Chain A
Amino acid sequence: MTIPISWYLLLSAFLFACGVMGFLIKRNIITIFMSIELMLNGVNLSFIAFATRFGTLDGHIFVFFVMVVAAAEAAVGLAIIISVYRTRETLNVDRVNLLKL
């Protein structure tokens, strides 16, 4: 029994949507960060699905690079979260609203 590529893509879209939704409804900055990872994973899945669809390995390489970037991002992002927590004493993004004039 086989399944079409578009199912994988649907799953990818769902994961991405969940990531965005997490960004919209979660208040905890760590969870929001995890939502970003979720979105990245969703994109990765579509990369792999298309790589399979077209029979090339470039998609795999891209996923690899995305993972590297995600790792770097996680390192820096978590460091930022730590320093934000140090100064603001909170992880709630609604309370960290200095991103305005």
Chain B
Amino acid sequence: MKLFFWQPWLIPLLPLVGALINGLFGKRFSKSVVASIALFFTGASLLFASVHAYTLLHSGADALETSYGTWIRAGSFAADFGIYLDHLSLVMMLVVTGVGFVIHVYSVAYMEHEGGYYRFFSFLNFFMFFMLTLVLANNYLLLFVGWEGVGLASYLLIGFFFQKDSAANAGKKAFITNRIGDFGFLIALFLLIQHFGTLRFATVFNIASSLPAETTAGLLTAIGLLMLVGACGKSAQIPLYVWLPDAMEGPTPVSALIHAATMVTAGVYMVCRSNAIFSRAPLALLAVAIIGALTSFFAASIGIVQTDIKRVLAYSTVSQLGYMFMAAGVAAYSASIFHLMTHAFFKALLFLGAGSVIHGIGGEQDMRSMGGLRKYMPWTFWTMLIATLAISGIPPFAGFFSKDEILWQAFSSPHGSKIFWAIGIITAFMTSFYMFRLIFLTFTGEYRGAQQDAHSAHADHGHVPHESPWLVLAPLVLLAVLSIIGGWVGGNRFEHFLAPVIQKVQTESPRLQVAESAAIPTSEHGEKTGESKALETSLMSISVLVAFSGLGLAWFFYVKRPELPGKIAAASGGLYKLVLNKYWIDEVYSAVIIGPLVALSRAFLWQIVDQKVVDGSINETATAVRGVSHVVRQQQSGLIRSYAGWIAAGAAVIVAYMVWMGTR
């Protein structure tokens, strides 16, 4: 029997302790104490996660499930407090604690001049707790707790600068948009309870894998689609992606941690975790792939024209999440998680780098006011360049491997199609283009922000852009290293690593296994025939070519002929405006959904239901009570004789009652 304290429940709980200490007492602590507490508990969590990852990998077991008692028991349904540690949650756990710890370190210096230091770290630790609960839960209900918890943490952190209206509104928007998704997810959970009687992963997947694959829409398809709705909300996919760009109102470390590396990938994790269900519901899988492909394409196209450095990264995140969904949608779950991991490294790095840039030039976020920063902040430049090379899919950086794996799977998987591959390639081109546009606009040319800088709100920052302190740069360097080597493990080996999670279910259904192995004799066990090897190589060269052409085009537009983009924008007119205004999606939503909803709420719910029915019933009740009380109050006259009268009458009633009872 292992020591109780050495069990994995401590991993999520450690950040909670940190959050509680900082949240309750942090106001009295000095900044260094607050930071040490937050770092200690996150670091300890990372340490524990590593220890348990090591233990799991060396135990040879596919999964370790530990239950710490029943949480809810209702009839035959029961949900436990349980930890489920397998290779998938292991990857997620290490990404969350690792990137989380690095970003905590970064925040120590980055947030130093902001108010609410202890609040920030308390929320950040709070987020870590829920995110780890989400990835380590052994049943859907506990996952849902984490799911909601990270939503709450996200809301709190987006609205961290709550005095700013835009930040508060962005927080609300994120929260409410997530609610729509959660609604779908919750119904999926209800369906699971109704038909499977449990929410425990192992049981659900066992039952699901005993079912045949659905060819038409059925129960699994319904569950899958509803889960997809939930995932769309959390992972910012069409049509619920609108909150993520606005979420950039939060502090930059938050954008890096929550809205790039971890929380938004929860949807991808959930889809991959539920692969037993999705694999048996081809229609749901198709929907996942279509939504992923569309999102990646649309978000990338919006990203091309954005000028706010964080918003470019936000749309890039949405786009990359679309990639992950597309991968999951073609049943390439391991590729999806692989990309999730590499994306966590380079996108966190990009955000942190952007934070460093914003910090260095005194709070400016518009790329048009940047430029030439390379000589002022070389460390930031080089690390961000590495991240950009990684996200653009240029070998040998991490993004190349995962992206290539996704594109290959989109092309070759039995669930895939050449259309997905084509969209992926176009998106890759656009990604490369807008990322290098960001780099060129920010770091090359001449500095364009001198005039604005004088009006900067940050009085403690000089006019000249400056490099950030080493505490900010160290995380950048660390993440840059990860962005380079993170992909070297390779798609096939990663797939092999995740095989117990993904493959197990498929092989348990003999019929399906036959069907699938007949369809793809190649990629089943990572052994590829010569023909498909050649195909993969040619596809790989296409994607690399596309990445470089994106780079070249960006260089041509923003270094060689900087006047050209404006001309093109003017020439294309309507299209440019459409993209610049994000396809008017926000406006359409507010006209089609929010407007009528507000009108209905005001006219019916407020003025009739609330004022007439709810308030009315309360007021009428109060009036009636007051009327009755007015009569009753008269009886408390203070006259002893009246009281005696009541007693006499009461006694008579009691005597009569007793006689009546006796004679009955």
Contacts and interface: CB of A to CB of B under 8 A. Distances in A.
Interface of A: 20, 23-24, 27, 32, 93-94, 96-101
B638 A23 contact: no
A98 B640 CA distance: 10
B455 interface: no
Contacts of A100: 636-638
Contacts of A20: 644, 648
A23 B641 contact: yes
A23 B646 CA distance: 12
A97 B644 contact: no
Dominant secondary structure at the B interface: helix
Contacts of B637: 97, 100
Given A100-B636, A101-B636, A93 B641 contact: yes
B3 interface: no
Contacts of B636: 100-101
A91 to B, nearest CB: 13
Contacts of A98: 638
Nearest to B651: A20
A94 B639 contact: yes
Interface in B606-664: 636-641, 643-645, 648
A94 to B, nearest CB: 6
A76 B640 CA distance: 18
Contacts of A97: 637-639
Contacts of B643: 99
A99 B642 CA distance: 11
Nearest to A93: B640
B639 A93 contact: yes
**Interface size of B as a range:** 10 to 19
10 contacts: A24-B648, A27-B641, A32-B640, A93-B639, A97-B638, A98-B638, A99-B639, A99-B643, A100-B638, A101-B636
Contacts of B645: 24
Given A32-B640, A97-B637, A101-B636, 17 more contacts: A20-B644, A20-B648, A23-B641, A24-B641, A24-B648, A27-B641, A93-B639, A93-B640, A94-B641, A96-B640, A97-B638, A98-B638, A99-B638, A99-B639, A99-B643, A100-B637, A100-B638
Nearest to B635: A100
Contacts of A99: 638-640, 643
Nearest to A23: B644
A14 to B, nearest CB: 15
Contacts of A96: 640
Contacts of B644: 20, 23-24
A101 B641 CA distance: 17
B644 to A, nearest CB: 5
A101 B629 CA distance: 14
Contacts of B638: 97-100
Nearest to B636: A100
A98 B636 CA distance: 10
Contacts of B639: 93-94, 97, 99
Nearest to A32: B640
A96 B641 CA distance: 11
A100 B643 CA distance: 11
Give me the 4 closest cross-chain CB pairs, A-B, nearest first: A97-B638, A100-B638, A99-B638, A23-B644
Contacts of A101: 636
A20 B640 CA distance: 13
Interface in B214-258: none
A80 B67 CA distance: 71
A20 B648 CA distance: 8
A24 B641 CA distance: 5
A99 B644 CA distance: 13
B636 to A, nearest CB: 5
Interface string B71-100: 000000000000000000000000000000
A94 B645 CA distance: 14
A99 B643 CA distance: 10
A23 B644 CA distance: 7
B656 to A, nearest CB: 15
A13 B153 CA distance: 76
A97 to B, nearest CB: 3
A85 to B, nearest CB: 15
B179 to A, nearest CB: 49
Interface string B96-126: 0000000000000000000000000000000
A99 B638 CA distance: 4
Nearest to A99: B638
Nearest to B639: A97
Nearest to A27: B641
B236 to A, nearest CB: 62
A17 B76 CA distance: 64
A23 B648 CA distance: 10
Q: Which of A32, A96, A99 has the most CB of B within 10 A?
A: A99
B241 to A, nearest CB: 63
A43 B341 CA distance: 92
A89 B641 CA distance: 19
A101 B634 CA distance: 11
A10 B651 CA distance: 18
A98 to B, nearest CB: 6
Contacts of A94: 639, 641
Contacts of B641: 23-24, 27, 93-94
A33 to B, nearest CB: 11
Contacts of A32: 640
B423 to A, nearest CB: 78
A1 B238 CA distance: 109
B372 to A, nearest CB: 81
Contacts of A93: 639-641
B554 to A, nearest CB: 83
Nearest to A35: B644
A101 B637 CA distance: 9
A23 B637 CA distance: 16
A98 B639 CA distance: 8
A17 B643 CA distance: 16
B7 to A, nearest CB: 61
B274 to A, nearest CB: 65
Most interface-central of A32, A98, A100, A101 (chain B CB within 10 A): A100
